[in-house]
Every structure is written in C-alpha cells, then in structure tokens.
Amino acid sequence: MKGVTELLGFKAAEKNQQINLTLSPEPIVAQLNKEKMTRVINNLVNNAIKFSPSGGQINVTVSKRDNDLIIAIKDNGIGIPDNIKDKIFDLFTEAKRFGTSGEQPYGLGLSISKQIVEAHGGHIRFDSVHGAGTTFYVSMLLV
C-alpha cells in the first residue's frame, strides 16, 4: 500500500495534490494476490488524482473492522453524477468523463477493480456527491 501511494505521489504532485496514507496501527494479515490488489489500489488512487482539482487532497485509509479489511480512498474531486452512478462498474462503460486536467477516460479501471475484488470474495462500493468528491470502499474478509 505504501509503495503504491508513494509512487502515485509523484503523479499527484504534478497536479499540486497530496496523498495522505493512514495505516491501521495493528498488523493486518489477509490472503490476497498482491499484484492484483495493487492494481485495484492503483486504479482507485489514479482516479482520485484524475478527478480531483489542483491542490486536492486524497486520503487512503487501511483499517480493520471486525473480520474485514477496509480500504477507503477519498477525494475532494468532481464527484459522480447521479445519472451515471449505476454504470461506473460496467465494462467499457459509457459513463466515461475526462479528468479535471483533461485526462483521457478509458472506462476499464473500475470494472477490472470490481472483478478483482469480487474474485477475492470482497466488495467494492462508493459514496459520492456530485461536485464534492467520492470515497471508494474495498472490503475483504480476513482469514
């Protein structure tokens, strides 16, 4: 997790953004494919960078709740309009939008992320207010 946020910190800095990482104070052990889960976190943080304005804050939190690993990625970006919320996880979705600096949309990242998370027996969801930001939550059962 730390490696992903450090690497993407350089990309965020190009937009004068900051990524804040908060890790659980206690160690969390989960059985997962590190490469695939790194891709999920990379996709979600990249989206937060893409859809946040210059000077934005991106908060990544890793915590444990009961028997679940919870990863939250929160931005203060443009948010997701209500009319596309039910389409953002679709493969090759029509719910594509350009980033705040004109970054190209592809429509694949969230679909791939959902497939990876669900293959691990987990869930991905989001809360979003159009114009005020989005928080994505990934939850996975701990062994």
Where do the domains of the chain lie? Answer: 2-141
Q: Global pTM?
A: 0.91
Alpha-carbon distance 61 to 2, whole Å? 11
Here the tokens at position 14 are: 């190009």
5 phi/psi in degrees, rounded to 5: -70, -35
Stated as kind and residue range, the H or E segment containing 136 is strand 133-141
The dihedral sign for the CA sequence 90, 94, 100, 104: positive
pLDDT in tens, the chain (143 residues): 778 888 888 889 999 999 999 999 888 888 889 999 999 999 999 999 999 999 999 999 999 998 899 999 999 999 999 998 999 998 876 666 766 777 766 668 899 999 999 999 999 999 999 889 999 999 998 87
Alpha-carbon distance 102 to 96, whole Å? 12
Alpha-carbon distance 102 to 98, whole Å? 5
142 phi/psi in degrees, rounded to 5: -85, 150
- Please state which of the four CATH numbers 3.30.70.260, 3.40.50.1820, 3.40.50.1220, 3.30.565.10 is assigned to the domain occupying 2-141: 3.30.565.10
What's the pLDDT at 142? 86
What's the pLDDT at 93? 64
What's the pLDDT at 128? 95
141 phi/psi in degrees, rounded to 5: -70, 130
Alpha-carbon distance 98 to 96, whole Å? 7
What's the pLDDT at 10? 87
